[in-house]
Amino acid sequence: MELTKEEENALDGKQGDTLALAYRTLVAIGEASGADRLIPIEWAHLSGVNYNTIGDAGKEFLSHLSQDAKFKVKTTVNPMGFDFDSVSRYNLDDNFIESQRSIKNSYEKMGAIPSYSCIPYEIFDVPKQGTHVSFAESNAAIYANSFSGLKTNKEGAFSALASAITGKSPCSDLRDDDVRKPNLTIRMKIESRDELTYGMLGYFAGKVAGSSVALSGVNDLDRRSCKSLCAGMGTSGACGMFTFGEEEGEKIDFDKNEMQKIHDELNTSESGDLITLGSPQLGLEEIGDLASMLKGRSFQKRCMVFCPSAIKGQIRNLGYANEIERAGGELLFDCCTCLSPLVDNKEVDSVITNSVKGAYYLKTSNNVDVNLKSLKRIVQEETR
């Protein structure tokens, strides 16, 4: 890789050990991925925030790093394990709470915006098309590449953290326009569609596609379906973006048979003890839709609704929060369904969700069964 004099000095430790570590990380990734140089980025979005994800080793690493590291570019962060404002309502271990607090403090000390959201594209102004960013949250990276016209790889926790500290990223993979051009088209053959259909399409695409894939027969997606598609794709493989329409190259169909295979893989129960909504977190538009669907109805079992604290004031002022809480929903901010300690397999055998990503992590990380169905069906079948 060709480095500037400033980058070489930083790599050699002339600007401190922390910056040298960050540059070593990026250079190693760059050399492994065939990058010829580092390029500036304008925004980093970090994963590795939930204590369930990084554990004691990650907590101690961040605590040490934060002693002298400062983020060089706008830096936002993924959800935590719980909502600090409501943690007293849940029987969480004191060690988990204090460990999560330490992680939170470390990121904020380094200059992170305390967003604690997996949907930064909904709660912050998006830069102009073509801008390079470094997003470690998979659904956000795919959304940024596919809908926002930004350029990012599906970054790992360390690469995005190093990019936040340096303001640089290796110029490789999806930062290259040639790599962004798909050589596989998936033809959508399902007629009746909802957000769950698109989540399963994404999950299928993630399994069969490389860095980029074209989707034909897909149009007029609402926000819920867009996010479900991105989250499903980010869960099952390395694919980091999609385009609409057919491209030259191989073509395969996503039909009822393929969709049923995925549903059978992820749906392991015909009912559930608990409902979770929000993986990715629900934004303002989706919270408004949910409030409207719940008018005159009430949940018949516990329902957790995960969303970013950035919209807390808006959903209160618009009456959405009151309607959801009247119906028995619990609004939780700064956390999400995935890897949440709030879903405990000692208390819950199975969970109802409309999220393909949520279903995967509930099954593999929380070790609970999942009843996977659309939001419309959840409201129809689980409320009165």
Average pLDDT over residues 232-237: 98
Angle between helices 195-208 and 256-266 (to 10 degrees): 90
Asked whether residue 164 falls in the same domain as residue 18, the answer is yes
Based on the domain organization, do 306 and 348 belong to the same domain? yes
Q: Mean pLDDT, to the nearest integer, of 174-179?
A: 96
Number of structural domains the chain divides into: 3
Residue span of the structural domain in which 313 resides: 267-382
- Mean pLDDT of the region 327-344: 95
The model's pLDDT over 295-330, given as tens digits with 9 standing for 90+, comes to: 999 999 999 999 999 999 999 999 999 999 999 999
The proportion of the chain whose per-residue pLDDT surpasses 90, expressed as a percent, equals: 98
pLDDT computed for residue 312 by the predictor? 98
**Can you give the pLDDT at residue 220?**
87
Verify that 277 and 298 share a domain, yes or no: yes
Q: Where is the domain boundary, 149, 175, 201?
A: 175
* Predicted local distance difference test score (pLDDT) of residue 299: 98
pLDDT at 256 over 90: yes
* Residue 33 shares a structural domain with residue 92: yes
User: What's the longest Cα–Cα distance across the chain?
Assistant: 67
The answer to whether residues 162 and 69 belong to one domain is yes
Tens-place pLDDT, residues 257-294: 999 999 999 999 999 999 999 999 999 999 999 999 99
pTM of the model: 0.97
- Which of the four pLDDT bands, split at 50, 70 and 90, describes residue 30? very high
Question: Which of 175, 196, 217 is the last residue before a domain boundary?
Answer: 175
Average pLDDT across the chain, whole number: 97
Q: Where does a domain end: 127, 147, 175?
A: 175
Calculate mean pLDDT across residues 217-242. 96
CATH of the domain at 85: 3.30.499.10
φ, ψ for residue 132, nearest 5 deg:
-85, 130
Rounded mean pLDDT of 138-157? 98
pLDDT of residue 101: 98
Residues 200 and 311 grouped into a single domain = no
